[in-house]
Amino acid sequence: KGRPDPMLTAAQANKLFPAFSLPDDWDVVVQDGGAILHTEVVMKLMRECAGNRVIPERASFTPRHDGVSIRTDTEEFFAERAILALGPWLGRALPRLAALLNVTRQAVGWFAPASPDSVALGRFPIFILDRGPNDTVYGFPDFEQRGVKAAPHNHGPVVGPDDWGPHATDGELRPVGEALAALVPGAAGPIIDRDVCLYTNTAPADRRLDAGEEFIIDRWPESRLIVCSACSGHGAKFAPAIGQRLARLATDPSYQAEPFFRLSRYSQFA
């Protein structure tokens, strides 16, 4: 109930988690409420809950005054309301949104730890290293016996929604490896696996001042569509909470998502 996060000195953090070698002048906050979601298990459970209300294939849609006509390769049907949660493809489906969304390529790597015992699950925390503007690295303990997963949180280059390849390059992951070597030597080591994630980032709003980076979760104007710019990459962990809002938007006419999620924060949708 609002308990403040415990502040540690760098020396205390290094002693508590021997994989770290943080500089003496760093501020450290340790939270004890974190967790790791196993994606395959979570996705299986959510799909089972959604049942046949999810369209897991290519589809086109035509908004009508009384609902949405949806066509797939195998069938055509009518829905009273439809939710578009298309991640990086949302701007392609709704071109009016394209200018408000930037899809960025995010490199992800798994590193063979120099000290495997020090980065084991239960002994080593999920971490975020803030080394200055546009230089943030996050990582996880070796919870899959696959190495330490670590990646830059600052945005990579803008790409198209289909640009998932090639896998992350040595150059893209070099800053991560350097950060681990300098600050988390127990986790540092050769790259043993790599991948790419796409972030769907919103532009800064002009009617409700923000720096961007919020999701769009709202009803589409003059239609029975509900739109959602999450959950590619950075949004996936919030899927249950976002899904609850989307379900209410679809079923409760009086419900509105929080102002910082609404389209009306942009002048063109005011």
- At residue 3, the pLDDT reads 57
Say whether pLDDT at 219 is over 80.
yes
pTM: 0.87
Say whether pLDDT at 77 is over 70.
yes
Query: What share of the chain in percent tops pLDDT 90?
Result: 68
Q: What is the mean pLDDT of the chain?
A: 91
User: Cis (ω within 30 of 0) for the bond into 166?
Assistant: yes
In order, the DSSP letters of 94-144 are SHHHHTTEEEEEEEEEEE--SSGGGGBBTTB--EEEE-STT-EEEE--B-S
Cα–Cα distance measured from residue 55 to residue 74, given in angstroms and rounded to the nearest whole number: 11
Tell me the domains of the chain and their CATH numbers: 39-100+203-269 (3.50.50.60), 104-200 (3.30.9.10)
Cα–Cα distance measured from residue 145 to residue 165, given in angstroms and rounded to the nearest whole number: 25
The amino acid present at 266, given as its one-letter code, is: Y
pLDDT tens across 10-69, in order? 999 999 999 999 999 999 999 887 788 888 888 888 888 888 777 777 889 998 889 999
Say whether pLDDT at 165 is over 90.
no
Single out the residue of 264, 246, 239 nearest to residue 81, CA to CA: 246
Average of per-residue pLDDT across 210-232: 90
Q: How confident is the model at residue 98 (pLDDT cuts 50, 70, 90)?
A: very high
- At residue 264, the pLDDT reads 96
Measured CA angle at 200 (ends 195, 201), to 5 deg = 125
Helical segments of 157-264, H only: 170-183, 239-251
Reduce the DSSP state of residue 193 to 3 states and report it: strand
Is there a contact between 175 and 162 (Cβ–Cβ < 8 Å)? no
Q: How confident is the model at residue 2 (pLDDT cuts 50, 70, 90)?
A: low
The tokens 């992350």 sit on which residue? 168
Higher pLDDT, 257 or 43: 257
Single out the residue of 222, 220, 240 nearest to residue 230, CA to CA: 240
CA dihedral sign, ordered 94, 99, 101, 104: positive
Say whether pLDDT at 4 is over 80.
no
Say whether pLDDT at 249 is over 70.
yes
Q: What is the dihedral of CA 113, 115, 120, 122, to 10 degrees?
A: -130
51-55, 104-108, 133-137, range with the lowest pLDDT: 51-55
Q: Count other C-beta atoms under 10 Å from residue 108's C-beta.
A: 19
Say whether pLDDT at 1 is over 70.
no
